[in-house]
Amino acid sequence: MYKYIYIIPEAIGKSVLRMCASIGSIAIFFYDFVICLFTPPIYIKSLLIQLVRIGYNSLPVIGLTAFFTGGVLALQIYVGGSRFNAENIVASIVALGITRELGPVIAGLMLAGRVSASISAEIATMRVTEQIDALITLSTNPMKYLVVPRVLAAVISLPILVIIADIIGIMGGFVVGTKTLGFIEQSYIKNTLDIIELRDVLSGLVKAAVFGFIVAFMGCYHGYNSTGGAQGVGRSTTLAVVSASILILASNYILTSLVFTN
């Protein structure tokens, strides 16, 4: 009987310890990353390849999701707004919602699904097939060769992707607003341009850079520390996507409260 009393505290204790251990190991990984970021050599070619893979190749996915998000936002606000005769607010809320929140968050989450997963699977495979060990024996620092280019590429790409997502998302709202909800094109555009301030867009871009970092860093971290063969590759991929997504949403809250509540 007594031994059952210990089960719950023991489980809690274990998971707390495990969490502390992984926070510690992420911190060490981050420290190594920062050191490598500021010491030569920098692998320009890898950086360019990753810019194409992470940034350019994500364009279709992010464009499509932004378009539909803008469209559905317009629809919902129209339906909700008409309950108190505030339909005209559609253009403004689409513009603000997309640039401040939905553009960066949706793009970040899509990138987490697409890029965290592929980075983590690729690096984990390199780990289990000893390619990372081989890099070291060929005098190449895997942190510099694999991690730095991917993280830099994501931090550079995501803000650019978010600018594009903002434009396409607002366009999605515009298409729905003018084609199905009956807004007049000129006034919709005018309402949009009137409401947007530089600050709205910039705050979204700062978020995007942070999310880009989270996406690539989590992918690299979980891939790099993968153990246990093919199963381990699968596990680290899942962990990368889940942890990147949660961190994106959590840091989004923190960033929003820092930027918009003075």
Q: Which residues lie near other proteins (CB under 8 A)?
A: 41, 126, 129-131, 133-140
Amino acid, single-letter form, for residue 198: L
> How many Å is the Cα radius of gyration of the chain?
22
Kindly state the smallest distance separating residue 20's Cβ from other proteins, in Å: 20
Kindly state the smallest distance separating residue 125's Cβ from other proteins, in Å: 8
Break the chain down into helix, strand, coil percent, rounded to 5: 90, 0, 10
Kindly state the smallest distance separating residue 15's Cβ from other proteins, in Å: 20
Tokens at residue 15, please? 């998971």
Q: Is 88 or 129 the residue whose CB approaches other proteins more closely?
A: 129
Kindly state the smallest distance separating residue 40's Cβ from other proteins, in Å: 11
Tokens at residue 37, please? 């970021």
φ, ψ for residue 85 (rounded to 5)?
Answer: 50, 40
Tokens at residue 242, please? 């889940």
Q: Is 69 or 225 the residue whose CB approaches other proteins more closely?
A: 225
Q: Is 144 or 207 the residue whose CB approaches other proteins more closely?
A: 144
Q: Is 50 or 245 the residue whose CB approaches other proteins more closely?
A: 50
Residue pair 165/204 in contact (Cβ under 8 Å)? The answer is no
Q: Is 128 or 165 the residue whose CB approaches other proteins more closely?
A: 128
Kindly state the smallest distance separating residue 38's Cβ from other proteins, in Å: 17
Residue pair 107/206 in contact (Cβ under 8 Å)? The answer is no
Which is nearest to 223 in space by CA: 159, 138, 168, 146?
146
Q: Is 137 or 262 the residue whose CB approaches other proteins more closely?
A: 137
* Distance, CA of 154 to CA of 156 (rounded, Å): 5
Kindly state the smallest distance separating residue 157's Cβ from other proteins, in Å: 19
Phi-psi region of 182 (alpha: psi -120 to 50; beta: other; left: phi over 0): left
